[in-house]
Structure 1
Amino acid sequence: MKQKSKQSLPPNFTYHGNDTLLSGTLKTFQKFACDGQELQLRCFRNTSISISVAQYGRSVPYHMLCPPPDDGGAAHARPPQEYNGSVECIAKEALRVVEAACREKEECTVKTDAKSFMVDPCPGVHKYAEVAYKCRPTTFSNRIVCENDVLNLRCHKNLRIVIYSANFGGTERGVPECPQRQDVKLSECQVSYATETVLTTCHGRRKCTVAADMGTFGNPSCHKDSRLFLKVVYTC
């Protein structure tokens, strides 16, 4: 028997043990915007922005990134100072500013200027903002199959599978799809590395098939009368 259900994560949800594992498999996006422009971050539906790095200032010469705008030779215009790397030009509050504007949102916009970042780290120098971020899933599906059944996961053609967790083994009472015998006293038993096994087979693919058996996951050392099952939490 198979079960599929969906649940949305509460705003204050923490990934606990799987946080590093999940984050390490998500794609990192990078965006930059020059002084006077808008820094725009966007994620996909059912995902939210998670900021990895945010900086405002300048660390490279003008010819490499964000040269000063051409003022057309106006006599009143004051040319920006050249940046030679001899002074520190990084706004220390940049990460906090971008997090406040963008964290846990599907999209956001931050104006790139000294006022928005609450400090001008190097007056007279034309600066820029750089951000690295990931799109974390906010809605997951649960799938359960009994031992020796096959689990099939599939996403729409433009989406890919993101695995959050997987468990293979048995519990004291079992699950409705794979109930335990009532006349036998059982205890919980799980294999290690079930999540990593499903990640290897499914993560980043449009569809995948996983056999819910000991040949795939190993022996969870359960009681011989235990009804084993595979539970996978994922999203597209």
Structure 2
Amino acid sequence: MVHFSPAHLLAGTCVLLSAGVLTQKVTTCYCGTVHRLSCDTGVISVQTALWGHEDERCFHGQPPYPVNQDCSPMGTVENLKTRCDGKKVCELTPADIRYPGSCTGYLHTTYTCIPANYLVTCEHSLAYLQCDKGQVIHVYSADYGRRDRTTCIYNRPYSQIQKTDCSSPSSKVAESCNGKNSCIIKVSNSVFGDPCKGTYKYLEASYMCQDALTPSNPPSESPSEPPKSITMHNSRLTGRLLLAVTLFLMETVVSTKTVTTCDNSYNVHRLSCDFGVIGVQSALYGRADSETCSEGRPANQISDTSCSQQGTTDVIRTRCDGKSVCELNVKVVRTSDPCAGTYKYLQTNYTCLPAIQVTACEFSVAHLYCDVGQVILVYGADYGRRDQTTCIYKRPESQITNVDCSNPTKKVAESCNGKNSCIINANNAFFGDPCQGTYKYLEVAYVCEYPTV
């Protein structure tokens, strides 16, 4: 089998992205909730942003509702572009871009994920931007400050990382680096100013490399627009073909992965995919050989090698399929003892499969859709909260501390499988409330396929 390096895989993915960029949609129903845009690969490029009148269908998952363009305040798209273009994740509230006197309603944004170099540099460090020989830097966006509690935090006191609403766009990187083959920027308040005193900050920058300027390759008209030399190709790959080719690339790199965790109530069983989402193939709780997890164990505890608990694979699939990362404890599957006296372990075999991933913050709408002639197949969905970094913008600490309340749900599959497009409301009315008082979100992984006859 031919094997590609991760660099080859990334390059191939960028080619696929440039050949056919899929438009993504986000709709948020209330002004005070989180409007979240994100890219698994590449960075955000906002296309449209429109306000719509309040509509009951925003809360009941009806077919796509009309958007009143006359309702959009001047500068809405430009405001969103300034805040989100060039980032991998962008969270805000609709109220942040709502002009005084504008109509109430929901905010509907469309965006694409375009390939770019993405760089994060901690305060008091140097940011290095560089391109191949014959190419020059085109900065797509840069922000200095802090917008989460997970980046650049090692050995920093909590008081220096608790403020997460102080990251501001900056033109300094573009002014210093555009048109150069390489560039070094000092990440400090002396260069960018201090958007939040007492907070330890970092620089986020995204940039592209384009051929050096020639008469046939003039500079881009705006720093926020992709350079002409990397403008997306006119030929478009369908969503299914894009996934199929990505799957081929992934299969040449990654085969089946195996994770084994010895039976202990404190041990963490962790499955993860750098690319794509988890697809559990098989799982065993019990013992299939005398070597695994045998250290320090007497012979009578490892001699039974045909010991397994029924239903283990189904349990792991329910919890992990369709996620990029899945962590659980052995006690999740230890519902009975298939072989008393035998020391057991949990072993899972899984692969990483390409899928379209959607995250919708509570009181927002998840949009699932496929190319013409294709239908949705939901791979996995969870509603709740499992981290303190997703859908947190301007939410109080008390609403994001419970990270052990995300539950798998079949409701998305039941509502969307077999349809060309589908709208799901991320709220307690539809999914139930797995953790009262916690601000939640919906995570969905799905693929597009041609219907079977």
Length-normalised TM-score, structure 1:
0.42
Greater RCO (Cα-Cα under 8 Å, separation 6 or more) = 1
More helix as a share of residues: 2
